[in-house]
Amino acid sequence: MILVAEGIRPGAKQLTKEITDFVGGEAVKPFLLLLVLAVVGCASTQSPRVADSSARGRWAGKTVVITGASSGIGRGAAVEFGRQGANVVLAARRTNLLEEVAGEVRARGGTPLVITTDVSKAGDIERLAQAAVRRFGRIDVWINNAGLGVVGPFWDAPVADYSRLIDINLKGVVYGSHAAVRQFRAQGGGTLVNVGSVVSEVPVAYYACYSATKAGVLSLDRALNEELRLNRLTGNIKVATIMPWAVDTPWWKHAANYSGHTPRMLALDDPSKVVNAIVNTAEHPSKEVPVGWKAQGAYISHRIAPDITETISGNIVQREQMEKGASAPVTTGSLYRPIQAGRFVEGGQREEMKREDQQRRLPAPPEGPGSQ
Alpha-carbon span 310 to 237, nearest angstrom: 34
CA distance 153 to 141: 37
Q: Is 258 a known active-site residue?
A: no
Q: Which of 142, 159, 138, 112 is nearest to 335 (CA)?
A: 159
Q: Which amino acid is at 80?
A: E
Do 132 and 186 touch, CB atoms closer than 8 A? no
C-alpha closest to that of 31 among 316, 356, 235: 316
E strands, the chain, in order: 63-67, 87-92, 111-116, 141-144, 150-151, 190-195, 237-244, 256-257, 288-291
C-alpha to C-alpha distances, 73 to 17, 220, 251, 331, 342, nearest whole angstrom: 30, 21, 9, 23, 12
Spatial separation of the C-alpha atoms in residues 65 and 82, rounded to whole Å: 12
CA–CA–CA angle 305, 225, 120 (5° rounding) = 90
Nearest to 211 by CA among 348, 314, 68: 314
Residues 6+ apart with CB under 8 A from 37: 300, 301, 304
Candidates 209, 199, 204; CA nearest to 242 is 199
Catalytic residue among 175, 206, 210, 299, which?
A: 210
- Please classify residue 11 by burial: count the beta carbons closer than 10 Å to its beta carbon, then call 0-12 exposed, 13-18 middle and 19+ buried: exposed
Q: Are 294 and 4 in contact (CB under 8 A)?
A: no
- Catalytic positions, written as ranges: 210
